[in-house]
Structure 1
């Protein structure tokens, strides 16, 4: 297993034990690295700069792919330009936001670091922005880094690229974390606390979890559903299934955190939010107290946010779109449960603020 990968992007010879990547370095399986497309990639050099800052690639509408063994990795990027300002957004894997609008002024170079958990044998970094850059990239194996696992439903999950701008709040969470923690979002659309276990998804988390890791658990939306595969009752089976998450994490010396279900977008005539989760919220709050588990009351925090914004403004939080507004939804959409990306960012921000207040030992130093 290779523990360190180093890449120098741009023109000319590679520097300091780095592998050179140019505007024609297309990913090939035999090579194991490269851009997913080079159609709009450009390579430039600047005489005004020295070292790694003297050349770079402009990765427009492309991703950089690197084949690795499964595990946790720390990624260090060098970004900048000697003569002009830059702006770069980076998403990892299936749309997980790791860097949003990183900006440099002319002559400024920044080093930006984060950690990734890889389970499919490949690191994928997608670049966008008004003027994206990549000067250098270093990837190091880091299996002692704390991993924050997310178990949940469609409001948490990594929504697929062809559903953009659909996004789960867990998909936006990496933006707030430094390289001290890797976010592993295992949430899946349509799952309840029961069906997530029944499909073996919790067992997968147990295979990877190590001491000091964190398990964040949000279920409830689908526990209300009538089918046998998903249905739980708030004060009996819902609590019983959630306790299996708690006990399993503690057995592995990891830290469980419960999250009450984020609210849906339904309002009373007076502008107050209608609670659609009822006893499931009460049951989770009770369980957190009974088992002495840290609780993020996202139901309450999202209620306050959505009531402050009101019925009209929350359309920009939830997946509401006019016909033609988003390419993937030419006929428009009105969804009062799921978020568009900017709404998922707001909800993720609520989660992060609550996590900071909890001051959990494993990740309290990991926030940006």
Structure 2
């Protein structure tokens, strides 16, 4: 069975080069602060606001302070900082970018968490002591909706305002960051791990919502780029119909990966051929087949468990036959399986019925602006829950002995879903933007 059964076929018209994009600058070196500028670097003052003509600058009304200690090292003797999270954006075309940040303050300690685009976690709690400058490198994937041959990904209205789909690369620095320098370089040598899924996978823009796909970049060093193409509310069928798989296949290289997690919303499809062992199975096999044709490596991921506790105080399966169907497809197609459904059931059982609310969007009224009612969602995760589930994925990568395991960070936390991290000990600097609107999805 072919992909054409589920989406309209298209004739490949050849690669159309966008000359304006081709001429865009893709390498930058920025020196932040009000002091002397290091050789070869572009100075960035607190007044440098992002504009399309210039193509870089502080974004979204960020207010920063410039500091200059007048030291001999021009790159590290000045910096910018703020008492609130701040954003810096650069206009770049689609691709993978190696980001090198220099952090630290000559006169005091600093602590930095760095996110990219739609709150993707890149660096977590990077500490520097007074007088210490620390350089960290990570990879950010930038995507757009254009597909070779003149097609477009069909975006939902909410995606039109997401940082993931705009025409620039944006970094978010938390309010304790002391930023000295930033280098950006487009790279072609990364293994790209594409993510296909729903609201449990997507990069969520707004607090307090989060998904595992936006946490997983934190666990990889350069060598792997995470390209998250998931979106809330999608099924295997609507992912195909909105041309998201077509988009992925158009830029996938041999040796790249596609992680596939669906099921929550597929349960709602009630046509005569719908069901775990019918269209869900057939479509999942199409994803696998098409990726293999490109020389890619498909990985089947069973759906995250919902917070669905039974009378005995243990998680009960609320996903019907869909996790089992995914397991069977992976076995039949001889591809790697990450049994996230089993691991998250273990995780939520270990937390317990009431404490497990700490992993989901359960918040009393007035926790966020405009929230006049309590939030109580047993499907969608908060940042802590998303982080724990991302660690389940990392555990699955190691257990399946996937080649990308060699790119896991050296300081990889020890993790066992039966012994989750204490949410009281986990630190997440919240982003400024929040929403009380529940993401699409079941």
TM-based fold match above 0.5 = yes
Asked if residue 351 in structure 1 is aligned to residue 393 in structure 2, the reply is yes
Q: 2:100 aligns with which of 39, 62, 76?
A: 76
Deviation at 1:104, TM superposition (A): 0.9
Q: Which runs of 4+ in 1 moved over 6 A?
A: none
- Counterpart pick for 1:318 among 356, 360, 378: 360
The superposition leaves residues 152-205 of structure 1 with CA deviations (integer Å, 9 ceiling, x where unpaired) of 0111111122xx110111111111111211111111111111111122111111
Structure 1 residue 121, shift from structure 2 partner: 3.0
Which residue of the other structure, out of 347, 365, 368, is the alignment partner of 2:406?
365
Matched, 1:160 2:205: yes
Partner of 1:220: 263
Query: What do residues 249-299 of structure 1 show as CA deviations (whole Å, max 9, x unaligned)?
Result: 111111111100000001112111110112111111111111111010000
- Which range is displaced more, 213-222 or 3-12? 3-12
Aligned to 1:169: 212
Q: For residue 179 of structure 1, what is the aligned residue in structure 2?
A: 222
> Is residue 2:34 matched to residue 1:11?
yes
Per the TM alignment, residue 307 of structure 1 is displaced from its structure 2 partner at its CA by 0.6
Q: 1:103 aligns with which of 114, 127, 139?
A: 127
Aligned to 2:375: 333
Q: CA deviation at 1:51?
A: 3.6
1:44 and 1:55 in contact (8 A); partners too: yes
Runs of 5+ in structure 2 lacking a partner?
1-22, 144-165, 410-442
Q: Tell me the SS of whatever aligns to 1:270.
A: coil
Structure 2 residue corresponding to 1:140, chosen from 163, 172, 185: 185
Q: Does 1:121 align with 2:167?
A: yes
1:258-297, aligned counterparts within 5 Å? 258-297=300-339
Q: Quick check: 1:25–1:38 contact (8 Å CA) kept in 2?
A: no
- Structure 1 segment 300-319 matched on structure 2, within 5 A: 300-319=342-361
Alpha-carbon distance, 1:55 to partner: 0.7
- Uncovered stretches (5+) of structure 1, i.e. residues with no partner: none
- The 1:270–1:49 alpha-carbon spacing in structure 2 relative to 1, beyond 3 Å, is farther
Change (3 A) 1:140 1:150: same
Distance in 2, matches of 1:113 and 1:232, equals 45
Structure with the largest fraction of strand: 1
CA distance in 2, matches of 1:173, 1:122: 21
For residues 4 and 127 of structure 1, the distance between their equivalents in structure 2, rounded to whole angstroms, comes to 20
Q: Which residue of 1 aligns with 2:11?
A: none
Following superposition, the deviation at residue 49 of structure 1 comes to: 6.3
Tell me the number of residue pairs that the alignment of Structure 1 and Structure 2 aligns.
Answer: 363
Please say if residues 194 and 232 of structure 1, whose CA atoms lie closer than 8 Å, have aligned partners that are also in contact.
no
SS of the equivalent of 1:216 reads strand
Contact kept? 2:104, 2:133, Cα under 8 Å: yes
- Alpha-carbon contact 1:180-1:365 (below 8 Å) kept: no
What SS class does the counterpart of residue 334 from structure 1 fall into? Answer: strand
Q: Which residue of 1 aligns with 2:239?
A: 196
What is the CA–CA distance in structure 2 between the aligned matches of 1:185 and 1:29, rounded to whole Å?
Answer: 25
Distance 1:286 1:243 in 2: 11
**For residue 15 of structure 2, what is the aligned residue in structure 1?**
none
Secondary structure of the 2:75 match is helix
Q: Judge which range, 167-176 or 112-121, deviates more.
A: 112-121
| TM-score normalised by the chain length of structure 2 | 0.79
Query: 1:33 maps to what in 2?
Result: 56
Displacement after TM superposition at 1:237 (Å): 1.4
Deviation at 1:38, TM superposition (A): 5.9
RMSD in angstroms over aligned alpha carbons? 1.7
Checking the alignment, whether the CA contact within 8 Å between 2:26 and 2:93 is kept in structure 1 is: no
Flag the 1:189–1:55 CA change in 2: closer, same or farther, 3 A.
Answer: same
Cα separation, partners in 2 of 1:39 and 1:116, compared to 1, 3 Å: closer
**Alignment CA distance shift 1:111-1:232 (3 Å):** farther
Instruction: Give the drift of 1:248.
Output: 1.3
Give the match for residue 66 of structure 1. 90
